[in-house]
Amino acid sequence: MTATLEAPKVHTGLKAAEKPRRKKNPLRKAFRSSAAILLFLALWELAPQYLLDEGTRTFLPPLSEDLVALWELILNGQLADHLLASLGRSAAGFVIAVGVSVPLGLLIAWYRPLAEFLNPLLELARNTAALALLPVFTLLLGIGEVSKIALIVYACVWPVLLNTIAGVNTVDPLLVKAARSLGLSSPSLFRKVILPSAVPTIFTGIRMAAAYSILILIAAEMVGAKAGLGYLINNSQVNFQIQQMYAAIITVSVLGLAINAGFVALERRFSTWRVKEKA
């Protein structure tokens, strides 16, 4: 009898497709994304206590003291009053700016002759800092609410307007040509192709405007205001309430982060048609 030798089986392990994926640890991911902030906060707490002299420490107190001042402002209701005053002004100016800028930007981008006519004026206006016009708005409109809201409108108009124009102008020409070949009319083309494609860029401008509405307002509230976060910061500095001043600054930072996160979520909601990129 002759025996048939079989080739030994070689175990090469799991196939590439069958390899189990390592699950990402959410805690590790959260720590990595916030490590720089945690390090900054730790430095803010420890440096004034161990590295700065007593005189300098007066103007840069540890974070814990600032948080205590923040908690006191929350408890006595002052923070809520100033926060609501700032949010009211900021929201009014922001809504007016978006309501004007988006339709105007779509109109300018859709009609090229109008864009060519207005482009020099737009370039001149967008390069004029809003805070440089604060004295002009104050002289013309007074130091009340109207001048502050008008300044916010001016600051917020340009990022929304220019990003709306850019969003329409950067739509893929092949996509437009394909839509026209399918017989879409101009209104349908604009509604079903141009506008959805421009939404991400438009929302980028809206997010920038939301940030500007807070930043410009804080500066405007330092002149002639009787309430608001900007007034709270300036008044605390004048009265040498340093911890309270930093507490107001922390509030502005947290408010900016919250507003940005809200608009990021809103952008994702209106851009669900986009293909998500693989990590």
pLDDT of residue 14: 47
Distances (CA, A) of 66 to 2, 81, 105, 225: 90, 19, 43, 24
* 60 in any annotated domain: no
- What does the angle CA 203 – CA 205 – CA 208 come to, to the nearest 5 degrees? 110
**Who wins on pLDDT, 9 or 44?**
44
pLDDT bracket for residue 153 (50, 70, 90) = very high
* 6 in any annotated domain: no
* 131 in any annotated domain: yes
User: What is d(CA 8, CA 6) in angstroms, rounded to the nearest whole number?
Assistant: 6
Helical spans, DSSP H, in 51-185:
54-59, 63-75, 78-110, 112-126, 134-141, 145-169, 173-181
Q: Which amino acid is at 47?
A: A
> pLDDT at residue 7 above 70?
no
The alpha carbon dihedral of 66, 69, 70, 71 has a sign of: positive
Please answer whether residues 166 and 201 qualify as being in contact, where contact means their C-beta atoms are separated by less than 8 angstroms: yes
**Who wins on pLDDT, 6 or 71?**
71
**Residue whose token pair is 């926060």:** 83
Tokens for 268?
A: 């994702």
CATH of the domain at 88: 1.10.3720.10
* 119 in any annotated domain: yes
Domain extent for 140: 66-269
> pLDDT at residue 2 above 50?
no
* 7 in any annotated domain: no
pTM: 0.77
pLDDT bracket for residue 15 (50, 70, 90) = very low
pLDDT of residue 227: 86
The alpha carbon dihedral of 237, 239, 245, 251 has a sign of: negative
pLDDT of residue 266: 81
What average pLDDT does range 170-179 have in this prediction? 76
**Who wins on pLDDT, 29 or 126?**
126
pLDDT of residue 265: 83
What average pLDDT does range 260-265 have in this prediction? 84
* 103 in any annotated domain: yes
pLDDT of residue 58: 84
User: What is d(CA 46, CA 44) in angstroms, rounded to the nearest whole number?
Assistant: 6
pLDDT bracket for residue 123 (50, 70, 90) = confident
Q: Is 224 helix (H, G, I), strand (E, B) or coil?
A: coil
User: What is the overall mean pLDDT for the chain?
Assistant: 81
* 50 in any annotated domain: no
Tokens for 42?
A: 């730790």
**Residue whose token pair is 């809206």:** 206
pLDDT bracket for residue 244 (50, 70, 90) = very high
* 12 in any annotated domain: no
| Number of domains making up the chain | 1
pLDDT of residue 74: 92
Highest mean pLDDT of the ranges 22-26, 187-191, 218-222: 218-222
Please answer whether residues 156 and 209 qualify as being in contact, where contact means their C-beta atoms are separated by less than 8 angstroms: yes
